[in-house]
Amino acid sequence: MQKPDGLNDAIADIVDAHGGYLAALAHGTAEVAEPDYIACIPARNESVRVAACLEALDRVFGPTLRVVLLVNDTVDETADIAVATAGRLRCAVTVVSMRWLGAIGSAPRARALAFALAGLLAPRARLFSTDADTNVLPGLREAYDTAFAAGFDMVCGRIGFIAEEAARLPPSDPRRDATIRTYRDASRHVAALICPDPDNPWPHHGNIGGANFAMTARAYQIAGPLPITPFGEDRALRRRFEASGLRISYANEPRVETSCRLDSATEGGLSAELKRNRIEADPLADEALEPPAALLRRLRLRSLVEREPDRARVRARLVAFGLPESRASELTVLRPRSMAWYHAETELRCLERRRLRVSDLARCLPSLIRLRDLFEKAPPGSRGDRAG
């Protein structure tokens, strides 16, 4: 279906502003005047999986959904298959085919462009982030509805693997997998003990992934746009939500299943991690994982910046950790205090992360477990959560 030239021109302008050019544009036959959600889906060479993705969305959301599918730098039939599939769906689908100028294309850039187009196509709808190789599961929309009704600004759901693909994966080292899983859980547990989040009491999954999170349009206007990073753009956006004092829920009920193929070209994504853990003797670990001493330093300083009533003490500690006195004074009085922490964490060189390997995790894990147990047994008032 053709749309008014004004809308098509506006889409072309947004693509141009993001560093690309519009190659083709198609709209499905369904119309949804005021969608509750708009699914934002970057797609690159996903002809095998895109139809299943759209069909699953239609089963779960039906006519409450609009979809913007950003087909970028693609050489297969993704767009044609998506358009053909859209013709038999109840949800409204817009297929934007574009190419990046100057080889700047990336998954984060494509997702950011999809969010920008969502603001044009459905400015009041909740933005739902997913991928073209991902299938939403029954109950997802209802779970999101419940969380947003409770006042959350961002909801991060669960991400599993498509069972048929998972069964074909080469085996990984079970001891290595257990080390990674235990280290991640223990790190999150320590964080929950030192910097407890009343919206997400421990245990919680603590994960955000581009395949399954949603946010209100208002919250994205406050905390956005999506940062353009080499990878981990979803985590970078979450940091901005936290800094802005917005409420985040790590919910178990909204679930998707995503591809676990090893041939994806996305840098730093799930496919790259799965491949590393199967072919490398000592692969790099998740960039969020750090040695126990570094984790403790980060969490204690965060607690100090965000909670300490004696702001002169906060200023002194920021200077001691390396901030110039003038900058430390600015951050000491900045509101919300979560924004002060966002800038302090970004600017302090002593908090720069050093990427660990799995062998480092195995070496550090006993110390991390001892740290977790120490804080878990201590009374809340003696956990050092105001220590610098």
* Chain mean position to CA 82: 25
Q: What is the span of the domain harbouring residue 319?
A: 292-382
Model confidence over 41-58: pLDDT tens digits?
A: 999 999 999 999 999 999
Rounded to an integer, what distance in angstroms lies between the CA atom of residue 93 and that of residue 31? Answer: 9
134 in the same domain as 71:
yes
CA distance 247 to 197: 10
Question: DSSP character for 336?
Answer: S
Same domain, 235 and 315: no
Same domain as 225, residue 77 = yes
Q: Which of 87-91, 119-123, 223-227, 383-387 has the lowest mean pLDDT?
A: 383-387
- Together in a domain, 257 and 371: no
The reply to whether 74 and 165 lie within a common domain is yes
Measured between its terminal Cα atoms, the distance across the chain in Å is 60
Q: Check whether residue 239 and residue 98 sit in a common domain.
A: yes
Same domain (yes/no): 26, 161: yes
Boundary (domain end) residue, out of 231, 251, 279: 279
Confidence band (pLDDT; 50, 70, 90) for 388? Answer: very low
Residue 190: pLDDT over 80: yes
Please report which helix (H) or strand (E) contains residue 42, including its range.
Answer: strand 37-43
What is the rounded CA–CA span in Å between residue 60 and residue 356? 39
In a domain, 284, yes or no: no
Bond into 336 cis (ω within 30): yes
pLDDT for 73-117, tens place per residue? Answer: 999 999 999 999 999 999 999 999 999 999 899 999 999 999 999
Let me know whether 91 and 236 are in one domain. Answer: yes
| pLDDT reading at 175 higher than 60 | yes
| Range 260-285 average pLDDT | 81
Percent helix, percent strand, percent coil in the chain, to nearest 5? 50, 15, 35
The total number of structural domains in the chain stands at 2
Which alpha helices (DSSP H) does 131-256 contain, by range?
140-149, 163-166, 174-194, 217-223, 233-243
CA 355 and chain centroid, separation: 19
Residue 144 identity: Y
Q: Give the end of a domain, one of 279, 309, 339.
A: 279
Is 186 a domain residue?
no
Which residues share a beta bridge with 92?
A: 66
Question: Of the candidates 234, 255, 279, which is a domain's last residue?
Answer: 279
387 within a domain of the structure (yes/no) = no
Kindly state whether residue 298 falls inside one of the protein's structural domains. Answer: yes
What is the value of pTM for the model shown? Answer: 0.95
Note whether 359 and 239 are same-domain residues. Answer: no
CATH code where residue 221 lies: 3.90.550.10
